[in-house]
Every structure is written in structure tokens, then in C-alpha cells.
Amino acid sequence: MLQAHVLPAEPVGTIAPEKTREGIDVQINGEHFRHTGDPQMPLLWYLRDVLRLTGTKYGGEHGGNGADLVLVEDKAVSAISLAMHALAGKSVTTVEGLAASDGGLHPLQQAFIDEDAIGCGYCTPGWLIAGAALLRRKPKPGDDDIDQLPNLCRCGCQTRVRRAIKRAAAGKAGQP
Ligand code: FES
């Protein structure tokens, strides 16, 4: 015979009813955030307008020139092309998160300084992210690997950027 399930009058122990929490949980540069706004909001606007992380640049409404690249997990992706709803539970690293927690520069950042690979600087964050993703999947990239990155530099720094990425790959960032 079926027995009626009798609910206790009070919550049991420390377990209390909890409403469904709305929002998109995402980790950015090691910190946890919940986005409760429009799920279609591009990640780029969330970074720049909500978190005020302005290192990632606008590179056009479809991206494509690398200025708006961020790392999602270990992959470089265009932040303007990625809606917040696609990031639930994901980990994002922006250029602000490349440096070590003690403030020490990422080897690529140091190598860009060493090789004077920065002109106006608009494209630089994107190059750093693309370079970091490249070095993770190919620790010793050749010129072709670097030339295939989607990034553009209107200041004409490509040759020095190439040298900087190869310097970082060789472990010579910060050396004469
Ligand atoms: S340094 Fe100016 S666009 Fe690359």
C-alpha cells in the first residue's frame, strides 16, 4: 500500500530551501563572477563595460583582426563574437590575467618589451593572447605558425612581434 509522504514542518538540519539562482557563472582571471544581464551580451562588453578590464580591444563587429582575443580555457577566441551564455562554467583569461599573481610579467610581455614590439599598443593585448595560446599548443613555433595568427598591426610591428614570440619560446625573455 502506498504511504503518503509527510513533509517535515521545518527545514531538516542545516538544509534550507533555496530559490533557483539566475545568472551565468564565469571565472575571469581567476575570480568568480555572475552575469545577471542579457545572456546575449558579447563577452567584450562585459569585460570592458562591466568589469572595466579595458585591455581587450574592439576590433570590429566581427573581430577578425585579433585585437579582441581572450583565452577561453586554453584557446584564443574573439570576445566580441562570444555571447555570455556560451561561457557558463568556463574560465576566461584576458591580457590583464597573463602576468603572474606576484606581478611578474609573462615571458611574452617581457619579450615584447625586449624586442620593442609595441607601437601604439592597440594590437598588443591581442598579440599577447594569441602568442600565449600558440606557445601552449606549440612551444617552439616557426615563422609560419606566427604568421598564421589572425592578428594585424597597423603600426607595422609584425617583424618585431615575430621576434618577440620566438624569444619567449626560446626562454630568453629578459635576457640581453
Ligand atoms: S602597435 Fe599600433 S596597431 Fe600594432
Residue 140 burial (CB count, 10 A):
9
Q: What is the pLDDT of residues 59-118, one digit of tens each?
A: 988 888 999 999 999 999 999 999 999 999 999 999 999 999 898 999 999 999 999 999
Closest ligand 1 atom to the C-alpha of 119?
A: 1
**CB of 137 shorter than 6 A to ligand 1:** no
- Please tell us whether the domain made up of 107-169 is placed in CATH 1.10.150.120: yes
What span, in angstroms and rounded, lies between the C-alpha atoms of 80 and 46? 10
What span, in angstroms and rounded, lies between the C-alpha atoms of 170 and 115? 13
Domain spans of the chain?
Answer: 24-97, 107-169
Across 46-88, where does the E strand assignment appear? 69-72, 75-78
pTM above the 0.85 mark? Answer: yes
What span, in angstroms and rounded, lies between the C-alpha atoms of 86 and 39? 8
Check the CA dihedral 119-125-150-49 and report its sign. Answer: negative
Nearest CA to ligand 1 atom 2: 120
Q: Tell me the CA–centroid distance for residue 116 and ligand 1, in Å.
A: 12
Q: Tell me the CA–centroid distance for residue 48 and ligand 1, in Å.
A: 19
Q: What is the pLDDT of residues 21-76, one digit of tens each?
A: 789 999 999 999 999 999 999 999 999 999 999 999 999 888 889 999 999 999 99
The three cell numbers locating residue 13: 538540519
- Please tell us whether the domain made up of 24-97 is placed in CATH 3.10.20.30: yes
